[in-house]
């Protein structure tokens, strides 16, 4: 019988555990309570880098067991290696639920595992719960973000991917006497179709990091042109923040899609989000409404962005922003 929750403990290229793993771990605690306090386990791929640190973090985030696939050949992500080892583990321990972060890697791994196991996968969820029948109820935006759909899965494991930063990490440590189990596997039996030849970091993207920024100054179509975005850049610099954009601005080629916020962009939760010339369509607000404080500047007093804003300024961005920048430069 299927039992327990399994989480994909994704690490980055330097072996650093991704925050989304801890966000999933916290939600798994809530789900477990509704499933007779079932076990919460993880699968971790490693070449040994940062392993002790990761074990330490996982043991403070409520994991009962961590299954470790350790090999120098697992340093780089490989869909063939990672999915085969994951599928074999799932067949062995038969978890009821398997959760993965909706990262680039997670979005590749999850469908391969789901199709191999002939089970369902709800992608890009924003909320997870257990319904009255004990099934995983995975909620995600649908119909262009205008509706939220709660989806059930008939087969096991019930699988879902969840976007980073949508769920919250545990505020306090959940210390468990975690058992670490080394997995036995034979990579030579796995047919590998793709070989990583070289990793070239996109420096431009690495500098942006709006998903880590504490202050975001975001612009929409209302910023009109490059000069408008230069104003945002200036304000962001004075505040020590990053620039973000609506899809409207990206479509107008005012900003790169790597800094788009929203349903098809990034989910951000900064301390301060300043929305300039952004109308506040649901597909945008779904990616920023978790910000601590939202300040909106829009010349239309009925713009929907004011519904999610803590502070609303009705006015022209081209008048307000230069004044604000001058004042801050003081
Ligand atoms: C499937 C799907 C996915 C999507 N994903 C995303 C997403 O990830 N992110 C996203 O942002 N959108 C997304 N969208 C698009 C979304 O529906 C909106 O079209 C988009 O957010 C609008 O961008 P905007 O607010 O910049 O433009 P607009 O809606 O055109 O708003 C511009 C605003 O600027 C104001 N304005 C104009 N001039 C000034 C001025 N001088 N001073 C002050 N205010 C001014 C106007 O009053 C207006 O409110 C998606 C849509 C679909 C269907």
pLDDT digits (tens, 9 = 90+) for 214-268: 999 999 999 999 999 999 999 999 999 999 999 999 999 999 998 999 989 988 8
For ligand 1, atom 7, the nearest C-alpha belongs to 262
The finding on whether 219 has its CB within 6 A of some atom of ligand 1 is: no
The answer to whether residues 227 and 154 belong to one domain is: no
The answer to whether residues 70 and 167 belong to one domain is: yes
Dihedral (CA of 308, 313, 317, 322) sign: negative
Predicted confidence at residue 204, as pLDDT, reads: 54
The answer to whether residues 238 and 185 belong to one domain is: no
Q: Please say which residue of 146, 164, 189 terminates a domain.
A: 189
In a domain, 196, yes or no: no
Residue 86, H or E segment: helix 79-93
For ligand 1, atom 47, the nearest C-alpha belongs to 300
The answer to whether residues 165 and 31 belong to one domain is: yes
Dihedral (CA of 116, 17, 81, 209) sign: positive
Write out the residue range of the structural domain in which residue 15 sits.
5-189
The finding on whether 265 has its CB within 6 A of some atom of ligand 1 is: yes
Place of tokens 């990053």: 242
Is the pLDDT at 89 greater than 90? The verdict is yes
Place of tokens 């909620």: 139
The answer to whether residues 185 and 258 belong to one domain is: no
The finding on whether 318 has its CB within 6 A of some atom of ligand 1 is: yes
Tokens of 66: 């961590």
In a domain, 195, yes or no: no
The answer to whether residues 24 and 113 belong to one domain is: yes
For ligand 1, atom 29, the nearest C-alpha belongs to 279
The finding on whether 220 has its CB within 6 A of some atom of ligand 1 is: yes
* Three-state secondary-structure class, residue 220: coil
The answer to whether residues 167 and 260 belong to one domain is: no
In a domain, 198, yes or no: no
For ligand 1, atom 19, the nearest C-alpha belongs to 248
Q: Please say which residue of 163, 189, 215 terminates a domain.
A: 189
- How far apart are alpha carbons 259 and 209 in whole angstroms? 8
Q: Please say which residue of 166, 189, 212 terminates a domain.
A: 189
In a domain, 71, yes or no: yes
In a domain, 228, yes or no: yes
For ligand 1, atom 30, the nearest C-alpha belongs to 221
Residue 302 belongs to domain with CATH number: 3.40.50.1220
Tokens of 238: 């004075």
Ligand 1 centre to CA of 57 (Å) is: 40
In a domain, 121, yes or no: yes
CB contact set of 69 (below 8 Å; sequence gap of 6+) = 43, 44, 45, 46, 85, 183, 185
**From the CA atom positions of the chain, what is the Rg in Å?**
22
The answer to whether residues 183 and 211 belong to one domain is: no
CB contact set of 85 (below 8 Å; sequence gap of 6+) = 43, 45, 69, 183, 185
Q: Taking a C-beta distance cutoff of 8 angstroms, is the pair 64, 176 a contact?
A: yes
Q: What is the pLDDT confidence band of residue 200, given thresholds at 50, 70 and 90?
A: confident
The answer to whether residues 165 and 240 belong to one domain is: no
The answer to whether residues 60 and 101 belong to one domain is: yes
Q: Taking a C-beta distance cutoff of 8 angstroms, is the pair 157, 196 a contact?
A: no
Ligand 1 centre to CA of 105 (Å) is: 29
Predicted confidence at residue 146, as pLDDT, reads: 72
The finding on whether 264 has its CB within 6 A of some atom of ligand 1 is: yes
Q: Taking a C-beta distance cutoff of 8 angstroms, is the pair 265, 257 a contact?
A: yes
The answer to whether residues 182 and 297 belong to one domain is: no
In a domain, 197, yes or no: no
- How far apart are alpha carbons 107 and 103 in whole angstroms? 6
The answer to whether residues 170 and 274 belong to one domain is: no
In a domain, 231, yes or no: yes
Predicted confidence at residue 210, as pLDDT, reads: 85
List the single range of 30-44, 190-204, 249-263, 315-329 with lowest mean pLDDT.
190-204
More confident: 246 or 286: 246
The total number of structural domains in the chain stands at: 2
């Amino acid at each position: 019988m299927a039992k327990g929750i399994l989480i994909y403990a994704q690490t980055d290229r330097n072996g650093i555990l991704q925050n989304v793993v801890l966000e999933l771990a916290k939600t798994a605690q809530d789900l477990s309570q509704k499933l007779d306090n079932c076990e919460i386990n993880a699968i971790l791929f490693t070449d040994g880098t940062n392993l002790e640190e990761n074990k330490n973090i996982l043991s403070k985030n409520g994991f009962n067991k961590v299954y470790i696939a350790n090999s120098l050949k697992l340093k780089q992500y490989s869909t063939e290696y990672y999915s085969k080892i994951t599928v074999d583990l799932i067949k062995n321990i038969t978890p009821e639920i398997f959760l993965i972060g909706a990262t680039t890697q997670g979005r590749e791994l999850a469908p391969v595992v789901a199709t191999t196991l002939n089970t369902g996968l709800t992608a890009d969820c924003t909320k997870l719960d257990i319904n009255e029948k004990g099934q995983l109820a995975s909620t995600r935006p649908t119909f262009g973000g205008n509706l939220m759909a709660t989806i059930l899965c008939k087969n096991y494991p019930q699988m879902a991917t969840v976007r980073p930063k949508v769920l919250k990490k545990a505020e306090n440590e959940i210390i468990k006497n975690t058992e670490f189990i080394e997995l036995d596997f034979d990579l030579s039996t796995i047919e590998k179709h793709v070989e990583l030849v070289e990793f070239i970091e996109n420096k431009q993207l690495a500098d942006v990091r709006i998903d880590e920024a504490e202050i975001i100054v975001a612009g929409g179509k209302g910023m009109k042109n490059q000069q408008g975005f230069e104003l945002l850049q200036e304000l962001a610099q004075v505040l020590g923040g990053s620039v973000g954009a609506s899809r409207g601005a990206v479509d107008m080629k005012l900003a790169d899609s790597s800094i788009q916020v929203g349903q098809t962009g990034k989910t951000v939760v900064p301390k301060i989000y300043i929305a300039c010339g952004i109308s506040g369509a649901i597909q945008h607000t779904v990616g920023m409404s978790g910000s601590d404080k939202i300040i909106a500047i829009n010349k239309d007093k009925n713009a929907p962005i004011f519904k999610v804003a803590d502070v609303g300024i009705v006015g022209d961005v081209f008048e307000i922003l230069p004044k604000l920048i001058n004042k801050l430069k003081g």
